[in-house]
Amino acid sequence: MTADTAIAAHGGQTLRRSTRYRTLRRFTRHRLAMFGLVVILLLVLACAVGPSLVPFDQFQLNMRARFREPFAGAHLLGTDELGRDMLARLLMAGRISLTIGFCAMVIAVTVGTVVGTVAGFYGGAIGTVLMRFVDAVLCFPTIFLLLTLAALVSPGIVTITLIIALTAWMEVARVVQGQIRALRERDFAVAAEAMGAPDRWIMFKELLPNAVAPIVVAATLIIARAILLESYVSYLGYGIQPPVASWGNMLEKAQQYLTTAPWLALLPGLMITLAVSSFNFLGDGLRDALDPRSELS
């Protein structure tokens, strides 16, 4: 017994460290994921503190300084058709996009996790009905759903966030349902049942903590999609309304000046691409790092 204890205590420590270490190393070796992480951190930092460092206000018009080119003069990234500072507008738009993306993700993950857990745990009739509903909603092209809803309700940050969350929770529900169903068969879940644990206990204390990794991955990918959707809807004029800036509505306004002032379109386009692909890269990296199967390869 004592020898067994000593060996295991020692071996266990090493094992834990090395598993965590290997997961971390798989992640840090993922170049794109690291790139994504750095870009996201920079974007968040810039959007948080940037606007107070830029000497111009996003709404400040200046008819004598319209269409100023970037990197030439007082306005670092130039000005738009009303002489507003592009850098200030891009950063404020970034605040909105990132906030919408993050909030939509939190709502979608919460709803999706609860629905997926309940469906996966009960299986049978409840599970089937829930998942059939999810499948039906998933079949419907997200963008049409989004536009239909956006046309019906008055656009704004809160409504756009809710609408995006509404179209994103199903995928989380799918992922979580599959995980919970598999985990339910494991002995530790049977042990909880044998103890007489209430369903809530088994679902949320025993099973769900073991499904965190795929939820984190899904969450990251949802932020990417939410930012893209918000831009798209705003671009089509159903999203964030001017004069409040959003990358999407900046892009829309810039269309008319594509030949004369291309930076008006390029800059918000670049921000969207950068933000969306960074979150996607991060999600891919997390998926690879957290997937125990990649341990084998």
Partner 1 sequence: MTASPPPVLEVDGLVKHFPIGSGLFGRSRDKVRAVDGVSFSVAKGEVLGLVGESGSGKTTVGRTVLRLDTPTDGAIRFLGNDITHLTRSQLRPFRRQMQLVFQDPFSSLNPRMRVDRIVGAPLAIHEPGMAAAERTQRVEDALAMVGLPRNSGERFPHEFSGGQRQRIGIARALMLRPELLVADEPVSALDVSIQAQVVKLLLDVRAKLGLTILFIAHDLAVVGHVSDRVAVMYLGKLVEIADTRTLFRDPRHPYTEALFSAAPVPDPTIRRQRIVLTGDIPSPINPPSGCAFRTRCRYALPACAAEVPPLREVAKGHLKACLRDDLELVPWQDAPRDPARPPAVATPAP
Half-sphere exposure of 11 (CA within 13 A, CB side): 6
The structure tokens 């309940």 sit at 118
> Coil, strand or helix: which one is 1?
coil
Please state the φ and ψ torsions of residue 74, each to the nearest 5 degrees. -70, -35
Burial grade of 181 (CB within 10 A; 0-12, 13-18, 19 or more): middle
Nearer to partner 1, 19 or 273 (CB): 19
Q: Find all residues with CB under 8 Å of 195, minimum gap 6, and list them.
A: none
CB nearer to partner 1: give 185 or 260: 185
Tokens representing residue 125 in the block: 């009739």
Find the angle CA(30)-CA(33)-CA(34) to the nearest 5 degrees.
Answer: 85
Nearer to partner 1, 7 or 42 (CB): 7
Helix, coil or strand: residue 141: coil
User: Shortest Cβ distance from residue 133 to partner 1 (Å)?
Assistant: 20
State how far the Cα of 23 lies from the Cα of 33, in Å rounded to an integer: 13
CB of 207 to partner 1, least distance (A): 9
Residue 19 Cβ, how far from partner 1 at the closest point, in Å? 8
* Residue nearer to partner 1 on the CB measure, 176 or 245: 176
**208 or 245: whose CB is closer to partner 1?**
208
Query: Closest distance between partner 1 and the C-beta of residue 14, in Å?
Result: 10
Tally of CB atoms within 10 A around 34: 15
Structure tokens at 253: 């306004």
Angle, vertex CA 151, rays to CA 114 and CA 266, nearest 5: 90
Q: CB burial class (10 A; 0-12, 13-18, 19+) of residue 144?
A: exposed
Q: Measured from the CB atom, is 66 or 181 closer to partner 1?
A: 181
The residue written with tokens 């829309």 in the block is 252
Min dist. Cβ of residue 223 to partner 1 (A)? 25
Q: Which is nearer to partner 1, 8 or 151 (CB)?
A: 8
Structure tokens belonging to residue 205 = 């204390």
Judged by beta carbon, residue 64 or residue 209, the one nearer partner 1 is 209
Give me the least distance between CB of 208 and partner 1, in Å please.
Answer: 9
- Cα 53–chain centre separation: 27
d(C-alpha 223, C-alpha 157), whole Å: 15
Residues in the site for partner 1, rule: CB under 8 A? 1, 4-5, 7-9, 11-13, 15-16, 19, 186-188, 190-198, 201, 205-206, 209-210
Nearest approach in angstroms of CB 1 to partner 1 is 5
CB of 128 to partner 1, least distance (A): 12
